[in-house]
Structure 1
Amino acid sequence: MSEAAAPSTPEIPSEPIMSVADAHALMTSPGTPFEVTEAEVRGLKMRVWKEAKNSLRELFTMAKEHGDHEFVVFEDDRLSYREFHKAASALAHKLKDEYGVKKGDRVAIAMRNYPEWPIAFFAGASIGAIMVPLNSWWTGEELEYGLEDSGTSLVFADGERAHVISAFANRLGIKSVIAARATKLPDSDAKVEHFADVLCKHEDYASLPDQEPPAVELVPEDDATIMYTSGTTGRPKGALGTQRNICGNVVGLGIAPVRQLLRYGQPLPDVANMPKKCMLISVPLFHATGLHAILCGTLNAGNKLVMMFKWDPTRALELIEREKINSFGGVPAMVWQVVEHPEFDTYDTSSVEGIGYGGAPAAPELVEKIKKLFPASSAANGYGLTETSAASSQNAGLEYIAKPESCGPAIPVCDVKVVDENGNTLPTGEVGELWIYGPNVVKEYWNKPEATAETFTDGWLHSGDLARIDEEGFIYILDRAKDMLIRGGENVYCVEVEDALYSHDDVMDAAVIGIPHKVLGEEVGAVIQVTPGSSVTEGDLQTFVRKHLAAFKVPVKIELRTDPLPRNANGKILKRQLREEWGLI
């Protein structure tokens, strides 16, 4: 008897066999995991995910279903789903019974990515507290502002932040600063406690009672988080997110991977029997991507999350090999640092199946580099803001290869449009400000009605980003509206020049900034991080760009650096800092 032939993978067509609209219609039809229905959200009709959880509490209660499977790995600490559920539930009871935390109270987290972060977050979220993840890169003045602005009553912090916050905690009426992994508590009049004293030591989590958190009624429109925006100009604004915002985002995470398979006639995965995956988180949990997409997405799928003390490409490669990481990413610069690492070939990266990034423009050359070094993986990017609770568009796999300059079409529950300066919708292909509408758009800015009125119009979020949308609905982000250069009356989109620079083999990272000119208004300048050992010169790069772009777009000044460019915690290049360094402001 002859052996049965192994099932073959269908040949990939050179062009999609299905439109985006048809794929979305099929994916969101009744009975599918992505089924869409209509609901009234804050008085507005919106498409919503039918299968989304109603609250973070519902999402959290799933944790114990994954039993002894690993949830979080940090250095040599390993936390199973069962241990996580016991620890967060026990902490939730402490918050209610000993600290008086009730639904609607603000509870802040100001710490690095430690295992205590998700425990504290879901302990508070499960009893209806509004969780306030604060930027752990902030100065004391900024932390004080965030705590006072949000009206926080209780803070979870790491040792470094606990020392800072203790100096003003009493003035702000903070009941306690609960410090995780602090070697020494600050000498302060404020109440500061060790996390392990409030809960227990890490090794004792398994001995905690098997219980649910205290009962509380939560509905999709209840407030859930206050996530502070980057604050590149003025004071940061607290984006008030709802239970629906976050839980809906978890469902939408799978749209792009499935859609590209449908459109290119490839078999769909057996979701019910998919093996557990392992992800390396390289962005902070106080970032919308880190919290909404990665942490909540990992919990929803029962996967494993590997944390790092801080981003380091060498350490990332070590963890990819040690933990058999299936996916990693962050902002594009982080991926570039891994793929351009001088010792890349010495590490086993064969476990990697997917690389995703966002939060900053990605050069089209990056996807080609990923294809070469990770032939079995799928690259993906997306677009979103703090105000859209992570991604509102996604581009992955074969679609991304076909359109690497795009961040993909809007997810099926979102509407997008490009408008002129008066808010009028522009025709397909024209450049204007991108507006976004959907159940992922946050409720408002906390205690800032004027800023809310300026940014939200009848449910539409004004992104502040310049974009165009093609005939298939794919979005192309061209620049921040305020960062676009105008040279002699000609618009210069920074991302276009940055992409040209990225395509040079010696360029790892690039930022284009405007140089004031009394006649032309502005000229183009650039700051470049070059690859290790590079001998490229300013003139070499100017000649290179001139081959790809019009002469008025060629930088008149290029500064070459070997160190990474300055970025905020969300991964965005701090162009204001670069302008300051150049003496432009």
Structure 2
Amino acid sequence: MSDSLHNDWIPTGDDIATANVSALVARLGLKDYDELLAFSNEKPDAYWDAVIDFCGMVWDVPYEKYVDASKGQPFPKWFPGGQLNWVKSALKWADDPAMASHAAVVAEREDGSAQRLSYAELAQKVAAFAGGLKALGVKRGDRVGLLMENGVEATVTSLAIAWIGAVTVPLFSGFGVDAIVSRLSSCSASALVATTGFSRRGKWVDTRSLVDEGLSRLPDLGIVVWKHAGEAIDFSGKVLDWQQVAASQPDAAPARMSPDDPFMIIYTSGTTGKPKGTVHTHGSFPMKIAHDSAVHFNVSGKDVFCWPADMGWVAGTLVMSCALLRGATLVCYDGAPDFPDWSRMSRIVERYGVTHFGSAPTLIRGLAANEPIATQGDVSTVRLLITAGEGIDPEHFLWFQKAFGSGRSPVINYTGGTEVSGALLSSVIVKPISPAGFNTASPSVAADVVDADGKSLTNTVGELAIRRPFVGMTQSFWQDDERYLDAYWRTVPGIWVHGDLALRRDDGTWFMMGRSDDTIKLAGKRLGPAEIEDVLLELPEIAEAAAIGVEDPVKGQKLVVFLVPSAAMALSQEALASVVSKHVDGRLGRPFRPSVVHVVAQLPKTRSSKIMRRVIRSVYTGVPAGDLSALDNPPALDEIRAAAAH
């Protein structure tokens, strides 16, 4: 690593010579990465032709052209005329004699037991589970909920759903019943594959009772497949044992799909209303992830890829795809990262010879705070590190590089989001990397930093925006084009405005500066304030509620709520906080409990009675509140300041 003033990581000649992106540069007959980046934006059709060939993506029928933009920029159709099923690209290694016996998935449970499948075994199990789902009546286009801890079964299930042309609806393992029901009912899911429970820090977390409570509210859900730990379950009718389904006659071949056929609807929360069903397709998400795995993460065949991620968020499918689309070994872990102690992650690296290790900043901060234990495992096999999900400070970025990368392995900062599949900004290992920064926009993503009028900014904080449609962007929100357009395309007409603040330096280094909207990120998981506030307002003690995210050195952000009590409320603030925590735990899940509860007499509002969350957040955190011309009740700000002072 360089000893320069900024502690930039500097690539060696060998790093550059052996990088996947250098091979892609050579394939295109270009001089260097900067030429490739320019080429990707000037000739995206030729660029993606080369990427698809380089990554070995499998097509049943070749596509006719790069994109059909006849419906306008927000609604491109990628690779029209082609037919494919992306699962073929992930399982093609099973047909390669040099790869068939290579480990595809290694899954370690919290109790230390582990499962391992070769690519040949994974392909067989996916085909069998796909056959079982078809025998149950799950059809092409059906939506199927997936509520499982990471591991072999979740990997097989996810791939099998896509194999038959159905659509996965991932569900976070920490959700409460309302969050589960709202997502499955929103897309009229016909089936659910779920776990009855899992271990966290040596204690059993019961999922079955949660799902059972929700089933009575889901009339369209006809099939439930349980992955279980030997519990007594009445497997009859449309309630099936996961192992029974997995023992079915294998389906002959993956369904041929159009590139714009969905394979996943993953819900993410915005600032208002119900969760948004982000739609990802066979011809977009997998292409983007294969690209990013090769170009940004430098993954190649027989590498060992570990990035602990919940299957209920986009990272679960992203991580799985990063490994399998490149012929690497996917290492899964389904438990707490600090159990039985903070050495668990480094010991996993040592046990399986992990070459690529990813972590959310929240986990990195926890590891750093427990460094003597966290670094007990041998991490000398690590060649590249990844951090994503939220912002990271330079100190922890450098700590990660030193402690898990021996000071010589680069840390790839990676930012995108559920709605864009993979990276908008990231880094490549052929250029210097600044701590906590990104050394490039992702190739073929026309990223920019803009002001309120859409004008480009340099060395000034502005909105992260994308000037043209890009492979990986959501097809739309499930049955809600208007909300999709409002969310991304109408802030500055004709430009995708992502909702993040960014800074781009003269030298091309980018930095993320936080959210520009009211969305809250708790340990890397996005949640809309309206979703929290709706749950709080179910309590008769509460008349009004406002939820904000506040920066936190451990969690990244913590949830702070402001409550206006109802006239009948007779509880103390401490008692109300306890009631609120218990209620949110049951409805949304323990990870979404408020860290701080403030009781106030009024909330700052506009003249049209809209709660001004940004003003609340600004005043509470001591930053300029900005334009207050729309504020109807200035004395409310005094209460927010008083709350902040305590």
TM-score (norm 1): 0.71
1:336 corresponds to which residue? 365
- CA drift at 1:251: 3.0
Q: CA 1:250/1:527 → structure 2, altered by over 3 Å: closer, same or farther?
A: closer
Deviations for 1:358-408, whole angstroms, at most 9, x for unmatched residues? Answer: 11101122343244331342211111010001222212446453x334234
- CA drift at 1:409: 2.5
Whole-Å separation in 2 of the counterparts to 1:220 and 1:154: 24
2:305 corresponds to which residue? 279
Whole-Å separation in 1 of the counterparts to 2:148 and 2:254: 27
Whole-Å separation in 2 of the counterparts to 1:147 and 1:167: 14
2:503 corresponds to which residue? 468
Q: CA 1:190/1:447 → structure 2, altered by over 3 Å: closer, same or farther?
A: farther
How do 1:351-366 residues align onto structure 2 when only pairs under 5 Å count?
351-366=381-396
- CA drift at 1:224: 1.7
2:209 corresponds to which residue? 163
How do 1:48-447 residues align onto structure 2 when only pairs under 5 Å count?
54-65=84-95, 66-75=99-108, 76-96=114-134, 98-160=135-197, 161-169=207-215, 171-185=218-232, 191-200=238-247, 213-214=252-253, 216-230=255-269, 234-254=273-293, 256-257=295-296, 276-292=302-318, 294-312=319-337, 313-340=342-369, 341-373=371-403, 374-397=406-429, 399=431, 401=433, 403-421=434-452, 423-436=453-466, 437-447=469-479
Whole-Å separation in 1 of the counterparts to 2:592 and 2:156: 35
2:25 corresponds to which residue? none
- CA drift at 1:581: 6.9
Matched letter for residue 37 of structure 2: H
User: Per the alignment, in what secondary structure is the counterpart of residue 226 of structure 2?
Assistant: strand
Whole-Å separation in 1 of the counterparts to 2:90 and 2:449: 37
TM-score (norm 2): 0.64
- CA drift at 1:248: 1.6
User: Per the alignment, in what secondary structure is the counterpart of residue 479 of structure 1?
Assistant: strand
Matched letter for residue 115 of structure 2: D
User: Per the alignment, in what secondary structure is the counterpart of residue 354 of structure 2?
Assistant: coil
- CA drift at 1:459: 7.0
- CA drift at 1:461: 3.2
User: Per the alignment, in what secondary structure is the counterpart of residue 423 of structure 2?
Assistant: strand
Q: CA 1:22/1:324 → structure 2, altered by over 3 Å: closer, same or farther?
A: same
8 Å Cα contact 1:367-1:379 kept in structure 2: yes
User: Per the alignment, in what secondary structure is the counterpart of residue 173 of structure 2?
Assistant: coil
Whole-Å separation in 2 of the counterparts to 1:219 and 1:303: 27
- CA drift at 1:162: 3.6
Whole-Å separation in 1 of the counterparts to 2:256 and 2:362: 42
User: Per the alignment, in what secondary structure is the counterpart of residue 284 of structure 2?
Assistant: helix
- CA drift at 1:338: 3.1
Deviations for 1:96-146, whole angstroms, at most 9, x for unmatched residues? Answer: 2x2222221111101111211111111110121111111121101111111
Residue ranges of structure 1 left out of the alignment (5+ in a row)? 1-8, 201-207, 259-268, 485-523, 531-567
- CA drift at 1:281: 2.6
8 Å Cα contact 1:63-1:84 kept in structure 2: no
- CA drift at 1:284: 1.2
Whole-Å separation in 2 of the counterparts to 1:175 and 1:575: 29
Q: CA 1:188/1:251 → structure 2, altered by over 3 Å: closer, same or farther?
A: closer
8 Å Cα contact 1:54-1:247 kept in structure 2: no
Whole-Å separation in 2 of the counterparts to 1:70 and 1:41: 41
8 Å Cα contact 1:285-1:295 kept in structure 2: no
Q: CA 1:285/1:576 → structure 2, altered by over 3 Å: closer, same or farther?
A: closer
1:507 corresponds to which residue? none
User: Per the alignment, in what secondary structure is the counterpart of residue 310 of structure 2?
Assistant: coil
Whole-Å separation in 2 of the counterparts to 1:461 and 1:94: 41
Q: CA 1:527/1:167 → structure 2, altered by over 3 Å: closer, same or farther?
A: closer
2:35 corresponds to which residue? 22
Whole-Å separation in 1 of the counterparts to 2:481 and 2:470: 20
8 Å Cα contact 2:285-2:471 kept in structure 1: no
Q: CA 1:33/1:408 → structure 2, altered by over 3 Å: closer, same or farther?
A: same
User: Per the alignment, in what secondary structure is the counterpart of residue 213 of structure 2?
Assistant: coil
Deviations for 1:177-209, whole angstroms, at most 9, x for unmatched residues? Answer: 111134325579984322012223xxxxxxx87
Higher mean displacement: 129-138 or 409-418: 409-418
- CA drift at 1:579: 4.6
1:563 corresponds to which residue? none
8 Å Cα contact 2:79-2:259 kept in structure 1: no
Number of equivalent positions: 469
8 Å Cα contact 1:317-1:344 kept in structure 2: yes
User: Per the alignment, in what secondary structure is the counterpart of residue 241 of structure 1?
Assistant: strand
Whole-Å separation in 1 of the counterparts to 2:387 and 2:126: 29
- CA drift at 1:49: 9.0
Q: CA RMSD in A?
A: 3.8
Whole-Å separation in 1 of the counterparts to 2:347 and 2:193: 30
User: Per the alignment, in what secondary structure is the counterpart of residue 290 of structure 1?
Assistant: helix
User: Per the alignment, in what secondary structure is the counterpart of residue 429 of structure 1?
Assistant: coil
- CA drift at 1:151: 0.8
8 Å Cα contact 1:371-1:377 kept in structure 2: yes
- CA drift at 1:85: 0.7
Whole-Å separation in 2 of the counterparts to 1:304 and 1:42: 40
1:4 corresponds to which residue? none
- Structure (1/2) with the larger strand percentage: 1
Q: CA 1:576/1:233 → structure 2, altered by over 3 Å: closer, same or farther?
A: farther
- CA drift at 1:223: 1.5
Match of 1:448 among 464, 471, 480: 480
8 Å Cα contact 2:37-2:444 kept in structure 1: no
Deviations for 1:312-358, whole angstroms, at most 9, x for unmatched residues? Answer: 14221221111111121221122233344222453211111111011
User: Per the alignment, in what secondary structure is the counterpart of residue 426 of structure 2?
Assistant: strand
Deviations for 1:408-459, whole angstroms, at most 9, x for unmatched residues? Answer: 42222211233334x5223333332222341211011113344212113277
Residue ranges of structure 2 left out of the alignment (5+ in a row)? 1-11, 17-29, 55-64, 109-113, 198-206, 520-548, 556-584, 601-639
8 Å Cα contact 2:138-2:166 kept in structure 1: yes
